[in-house]
A and B are shown apart, each in its own frame.
Chain A
Amino acid sequence: MKGFLRRLSVRLAAGLVMTAVVATFTFFLIHALPGNPGDAAYEQFVMQGMAPEQARAKVAVIYGFTSHESLFQQYTSYMGQLLRGNLGVSISYSGVPVSHVIASAAPWTILPVLTGLLVSFLVGVTAGVVAAVRRSSRWGGLLSLSGSLMAGVPSFVLALLLAFLFHTLWGLLPFGDTSDVTLTPGLNAAYIGSVATHAVLPVATYALLSYGGWLLSMKSSVVSALGDDFILAAELRGITPATRMRYIGRNAVLPLFTVLALSFGFMFGGSVIIEHIFDYPGLGSLLLQSIGSRDYPLMGGAFLLITVAIVLANILAETLYSVIDPRVRR
């Protein structure tokens, strides 16, 4: 137990350092972007008939949350605030705290990503075992083919295809929100059903995108385990087929845990494209919007959340791995 806690502390410390490095890198990267938050608004005010001087003055007030300190001062102030858990205030939201804006968008990325990942992991791993065990049969071949095909499809192609088929062509599934806005949120069937239907397309995209990877990895892992000496020895001892499958499955699934954590990070990053295509208002959409409006604090906050999620997922995977596989502890 002592060793476990020590390893966990080391990983957490490394995670903190990693987060600080990424926060520093992204801070300077986003501040290197040309343009400023008020330019587009200025143009819009002029288009609405406002005199240029007036438009400039208005922009200065409502977008006046831009810091005028030097970049280095802004950086030290940003990191200092970050240590206290303060992400600053949004420029494009006229001073609304970044944490508030992110908190309203984050659930709509975390839930679909986690659901998609879970579904694809369960289905992909199961299909991978079947594809390995029945690799000489037609079913095994078909499953492997499906995995290869899905692993090769780019996310935007799959998302556009699903949107076209299920929304535009057949009108079966909605997109553009998290639920039907006319329904009262709460634990009622209508609202829950609406949340589910609105999440189907992004969840299905996340799931289908990673399904192929799980299937192929699991198949390869199972095939490799099938030839291991301990399986042969167990078979000679006369174990039942179910016990044999349990032995194979447990050993074959181990390498996939690391991939699971990495997938979580990749899917988070992929949410930018998928949410944009489905107009699903999660963190990915927020990140795109904040880049378009040059909202540096909001961009920083969104990037940081994604970074923290990936770092935490990796720590979790390493920790679980050492629990599941005693060899790693040595």
Chain B
Amino acid sequence: MKLVRRAALPLGAALLLCGAGACSTPAGGSSAAGQVFTTIDGNNPITAGAPMNPFNASGNSFLGYDQMQLGFSKKNPADPNDFFPGLAKSWTADDTGLTVELQPGAKWSDGTPVTPEDVKTSMAIALTQGSATVGAGVLTQGLDVADVKAVGPHTVRLEQVAGAHNIHFPRLVLTQKIVPRSVYGPLLPADVWDTVHASQNPDKGAAKAAQAAVDKLNAVGQKVSAFAPAKDVSAGPFVITRVNPGSAVLDRNPHFYAADKIAPKQVVIRHYTGNEQIWGYLTNGELDAAPYTSMPTNVLNRILKAGNKRVDSVSYVDAAIAFNQSVAPYDKLAVRQALAHVIDREAVTKVAEPVGGTASKTTTGLIQPMVEKWLTPDQQGKLDPYAHDPAKAEQLLKGAGFRKGGDGKWLLPDGKPWTITLQTVNGFSDWISAATVIANELSSFGIPTKPALTADFSTYKKEIAEGKYAVGFWLTALGPQTDAAFQRLYGADDGYTAVGTKVTHSTGKGSGNWQNTATSFTVDGATVDPGALTAKLSTLEPDAQKPIVQQLAAATNQQLPVIQIWDYTNVQFVSGKRFAKFPQQGDNALLANPPGVWMMQGYVQSAK
């Protein structure tokens, strides 16, 4: 209420002033003189009233600016542990853990040094955020930190739980948020590490106590996520000065370890609620850098005309059509293959994702650059491209017992009419456009198809998991890790749960299995268990993953649990008006990170 009283008078007076012609033009023009870098955080729209806490679900904290990690992933498909240095200057991984050398000049924005104790506090907090698991190491990608010790003023040793050989341990440690002990330490109970150790006890007899410890850690985690610090204390290149309901301003942190590399005096991060706002800001020349947004060609042309430059990099996501194979006739391989031949992926992509999409060459569970990386040319040559070929589709359907009725429409083998409802989500403009084109193509082929919209993604997730949709859109090929990519096809949504090396499979109501893909295929004469192979991928080094990836890609190509339609491209925009030296087209490692990380590497310098 205090705020209302304080703001009422100024607004009234200001409106009168405005009426008298005292209004100024909007932001954007003033940025140049003040070296203000204006951008949007694609993962974190500003949330009015939310605390400046990186552990809050809506927290106003910005990765690479005021939110720091020990390192920043280069998203290297050949090495998941390939990182840009962050608060860690260097690190060495071994069988039992990780030794991290902190940046010697690293300081918090209040002038105090970043110490191994800050890292220890941060790891304890990370273990309260749902990362702790009973017996630790049972999750293939659990954060299995057993202990954190200072072994020098700037050196810290992180031990992995005894017996756990998690190949992702360095990646998981390096990507945790590092927060000041002075601010977050008081939220942790004094015996937090005892609780962590109790949770990690692998004895079956101690499982109950371990679960109690996990519950205790998670309860602390809730307190941490609800915490509202009085001010931002950052070890990053910037520190939050103010958060407005619609934007945040961060000032350069003079204590940052590489402050000489940081050109902007301030960073303004603007709120957005959808693509249209980002397009508008870009068209008006208000942004120095913008994250990926889906857009039609005319909007792209407008944005480029306004002086923005397009920089593309790899995006490890693909849009696909997924099937619930418990619903006839999608349980038949010939049907899925026929549909793949009917859909003209080039035509669909041209309409639905003309700027940020490349039509999928085929379906493998991976995006095309990953296919080229992991499969030999010979293996790639053997993949069925499922080219647009309605005649082939007709042949496949007839072979499966389907026939055409007198009206030219296809009938199911039992003589009933065959119609398809292709489910998409409200607000996902590219999926909706694609569904319309695909529906036209299938209907012209003789399978009456109508696109259907679910109100929002939350409902879509719930209803698809309940098996309500037979055919719907789905994101696949998530990477760069191959296990993550195949998890989309042979993971939780297909009824698989991996506990350590043990994989269980479930079907039916409440199992979360809506894909209902067969649990074994025969590929080139060999029997393949896709769920077990996918789970195994998480435990292997990249070199050892190769034969499994090749087998799974070939199996996916033959079995078509989904039809991949297009690979996304990470299209970003930068403006040379106020700043220069941006990452270039194809600079995948840098462009996978926010501009704050570019700045730490010496990019984004004044244009003058």
Contact = CB atoms under 8 A, between A and B. Distances in A.
A54 B459 contact: no
A91 B225 CA distance: 11
A214 interface: no
B49 interface: yes
Contact of B478 (A42, A47, A102): A47
Interface residues of A, number: 86
B165 to A, nearest CB: 16
Given A96-B51, A106-B4, A51 B538 contact: yes
What is the interface residue range for chain B against chain A?
A: 35 or more
Contacts of A59: 130
Given A36-B458, A51-B538, A94 B487 contact: no
Nearest to B272: A279
B15 A115 contact: yes
A96 B280 contact: no
A178 B245 CA distance: 7
Nearest to B7: A107
Interface stretch (A62-70, A221-229, A234-242, A243-251): A62-70
Contact of A177 (B10, B25, B271, B456): B271
Q: Which secondary structure dominates chain B's binding surface?
A: mixed
Instruction: Give the residue among B18, B50, B58, B491 with the most A Cβ atoms within 10 A.
Output: B58
Nearest to B222: A64
Interface stretch (A146-154, A188-196, A321-329): A188-196
Contacts of B459: 34-35
B23 A57 contact: no
Majority SS at the chain A contact face: helix
A42 B462 CA distance: 12
Interface string A34-67: 1111011111101111111110111111111100
B449 to A, nearest CB: 25
Given A54-B142, A115-B11, A110 B4 contact: yes
Contacts, number: 254
B225 A61 contact: yes
A58 to B, nearest CB: 4
Nearest to A182: B249
Q: Which 7 A-B pairs have the closest CB atoms?
A: A35-B458, A177-B246, A196-B14, A174-B26, A95-B226, A281-B245, A57-B130
Interface of B: 1, 3-4, 7-8, 10-15, 17-18, 22-28, 30, 34, 36, 43, 46-51, 55-59, 73, 128-131, 133, 139-142, 218, 221-222, 225-226, 228, 242-249, 266, 268, 270-273, 277, 280-281, 283-284, 317, 455-459, 461-463, 475, 478, 481, 483-484, 487, 491-492, 497-498, 538
25 contacts: A40-B457, A40-B458, A41-B57, A47-B478, A49-B478, A52-B492, A53-B497, A56-B130, A61-B128, A89-B226, A95-B226, A96-B226, A108-B245, A171-B26, A171-B284, A172-B25, A176-B272, A181-B249, A182-B266, A192-B10, A193-B22, A196-B18, A282-B245, A289-B47, A292-B456
Interface of A: 34-37, 39-44, 46-54, 56-65, 89, 91-96, 100-108, 110-111, 115, 167-168, 171-182, 185, 187, 191-197, 199-200, 203, 276, 279-282, 285-286, 288-289, 292-294
